[in-house]
Amino acid sequence: MKIALAQLNFHIGNFDQNKEKILKAIEQSKALGADLVVFSELAITGYPPRDFLEFDDFIDQSKHAVEEIASVCTGISAIVGMPATNPNPKGKRLYNSAAFLSEGKVQKIIHKTLLPNYDIFDEYRYFEPNTVFELVELHDRKIALTICEDIWNVEKNPLYTVNPMEELMKLNPDLMINIAASPFNYEQAERRFQVLNHNTEKYHLPLFYVNHVGAQTELLFDGGSMVMNAKGKVVDVLNYFKEDLKVYDLKDVEQSKGTSSITKVSKSALIHDALVMGIRNYFQKLGFSKAILGLSGGIDSAVTAALAAEALGAENVYNVLLPSPFSTEHSLKDAKELVQNLKMPSDVISISDAFESFNETLHPFFKGLLFDVTEENIQARIRGVILMALSNKFGYILLNTSNKSEAAVGYGTLYGDMNGGLSVLGDVYKTDVFELARYINRNKEIIPENIITKPPSAELRPDQKDSDSLPEYDILDRILYLYIEKRKGPAEIIAEGYDQQLVNRILKLVNINEYKRYQTPPILRVSDKAFGMGRRMPIVAKYLS
């Protein structure tokens, strides 16, 4: 039996496009001699469809699209992820399902058992868990068909009391197929490999695994679909961050010696590729082609511009340099050099006159109070108004350039430098932004060296440096990582050798600035705990604040 894995980039709710992609892959797989072609979890709708699942019309369109796909499945079978209606009046109205299509119709529908309800996952909001276990049969082969989370309950301290594969093994399957929507983070490929490896070693069956690829707003899917033999060895891995389709002969897989690991890629390379894909797909799926950003001469806007130029084409990234009375000549020079290196369009618009006008207008009402963060924020908001005006006038999407370190401690101005339609670096700590810049420069200097080496500064007052307000980033980022990603409390962080007063101050900054993060643009997710849908904190709370 020959099995094709079709790793495709679906578009949520774009039934016609998703259907056409699936039909094309079926035709291609059939031409390559495949008996079965496998698509990812909720392939027909795209993942995650979220509250679209509450609309009857959405479910009806999903069903009709799958029926149309089934009609062409003659001489080849297919497995397609879809939402299926629960006929039982008790329980949730839908299942997260996999349809087995063969001989021109839907032959069987297998439902997902384990519904993740943590971090970015919200499946129990919509779906009823499966309680009936059965195999799919094709060409005298019995297939244990599971959906994503169903094979993840093999780790220490399992989250669920049921293990679907344990139930399916009672029926004596010959192989495992898992269809998935496993979101990217820079550690996920290794974790995914370990889970697949544990399954094959435990059940002594070959495993065919197909994952989503592409970006769905902030969620990034890296692909990396995989085939493993019954000894837990990797037979093949499909491309990362790209659509791919390959056909495998089951006999060859069973006889393959395979390899004991997957190719490891640097953290910076993974983040780079994920962000480029995320920007490109966000624009494509919204029907936009051009980006705008404020280029300050600092490292965050430089890295954002370089990533956007790679994702969209340099000619489609409009850089606006917005010097204030406190901007240094070298920052302006550095920004212009970057623009020249990438051949991006740019303009210089001074905010000095606008800033002076605001100061004159507000002077009688500021009652003689001295220059402080108020005037700093006015500069940021003037820049935000100019960038949004240009965005509106010409139909650009404004890229936000704030990094995770700044977002965590509130080092940014609402309705100013926190503006944007998409946050590119909002899940990348400042120390990782520096590493990302080095990676971008791996073959030649794109980002000027001075941008990378000079002390970071918002340049909103004379001689300002980030270190005036914040600890050095290598210390700050480590404390933030322990608190945000690792969920460690203050006592645990202090026990790792950090100053008590500093830890308490940083954690307080994180918590009192939650209101700002509620108003930020979507953040491309590259870690396992990003701000946004995967981290849900109350604004009005006392804990650590």
User: How do residues 258-306 score in pLDDT, each as one tens digit?
Assistant: 999 999 999 999 999 999 999 999 999 999 999 999 999 999 999 999 9
Rounded to whole angstroms, the Cα distance separating 120 from 112 reads: 18
pLDDT at 157: 78
The SS3 assignment for 509 reads helix
Give Rg (Cα) of the chain.
Answer: 26
CA atoms within 13 A on the CB side of 121: 17
Long-range contacts formed by 129-135: CB under 8 A, 24+ apart: 130/95, 130/164, 133/164, 133/167, 133/168, 133/170, 133/171, 134/108, 134/110, 134/171, 135/168, 135/171, 135/173
Domains and CATH numbers, the chain: 2-264 (3.60.110.10), 270-470 (3.40.50.620)
Q: What is the pTM of this model?
A: 0.96
- In this structure, the strands spanning 2-7 and 141-147 are unpaired
Tell how many helices (H) and how many strands (E) occur in the chain. 17, 19
The list of the chain residues with pLDDT below 50 reads none
For the question of residue 41 being annotated catalytic, the response is: yes
Distances in whole angstroms, Cα of residue 2 to Cα of each of 36, 100, 208, 482:
7, 16, 11, 46
* CA dist., res. 445 & res. 453, Å (int): 13
Which amino acid does the sequence have at 368?
A: G
pLDDT (0 to 100) of residue 465? 77
Q: Per-residue pLDDT tens for 217-233?
A: 999 999 999 999 999 99
d(CA 502, CA 479): 9
pLDDT for residue 502:
96
List the catalytic residue out of 2, 21, 30, 112. Answer: 112
Q: Which residue out of 148, 149, 310, 337 is catalytically annotated?
A: 148
Pairing of strands 219-222, 207-211: unpaired
Tokens found for residue 24: 């094309």
Catalytic residue among 41, 123, 337, 459: 41
pLDDT of residue 466: 72
Respond yes or no: is residue 465 known to be catalytic: no
73 is catalytic: no
